Amino acid sequence: METSKIVGDQDGIDLWNLMAASTDSIEHAYAISISNAASKFGLAWFTDIVTQRTKKLNNQACWRIEWNGKGSQWEIALFHLPEGAIKRSQRLGAIKTGEPEWIDVSVDDIIS
């Protein structure tokens, strides 16, 4: 999919951008396949496969990406949120809030 403006639900856009830039080989291949399907058909669905794989959470939000020809832009919308599922996975948390990741530091590390 060529670089185009993407509008819509910010949580879905954040996931899309994370997938597109992923260094995880499985997620990267998934992102390419979704991108190819969206380019071919003008519509595709995706979810956070890394969270599914690492946390064993199959009950997740599903997003839709669709080409809007009139606006010449891609639109991402929440397609389905199963009951009890969270809309935004934990790995996307820092992107939206801009919060730094916390690391454990011992007193000895600070003093030395």
If one counts every other C-beta atom within 10 angstroms of the C-beta of residue 44, the result is 19
> Is residue 112, in this structure, part of any structural domain at all?
no
Residues 6+ apart with CB under 8 A from 62: 45, 46, 47, 78, 79, 80, 81
> Is residue 37, in this structure, part of any structural domain at all?
yes
> Is residue 106, in this structure, part of any structural domain at all?
no
pTM score of the predicted model: 0.77
> Is residue 43, in this structure, part of any structural domain at all?
yes
Average pLDDT in the 70-81 region? 91
> Is residue 14, in this structure, part of any structural domain at all?
yes
> Is residue 86, in this structure, part of any structural domain at all?
yes
pLDDT tens-digit readout, 46-65: 999 988 888 877 778 999 99
Q: What range does the domain containing 22 cover?
A: 7-96
> Is residue 22, in this structure, part of any structural domain at all?
yes
pLDDT tens-digit readout, 4-49: 688 999 999 999 999 998 899 999 999 999 999 999 999 999 999 9
Question: Taking a C-beta distance cutoff of 8 angstroms, is the pair 76, 46 a contact?
Answer: no
Band (107; pLDDT cuts 50, 70, 90): low
Tell me how many domains the chain contains: 1
> Is residue 105, in this structure, part of any structural domain at all?
no
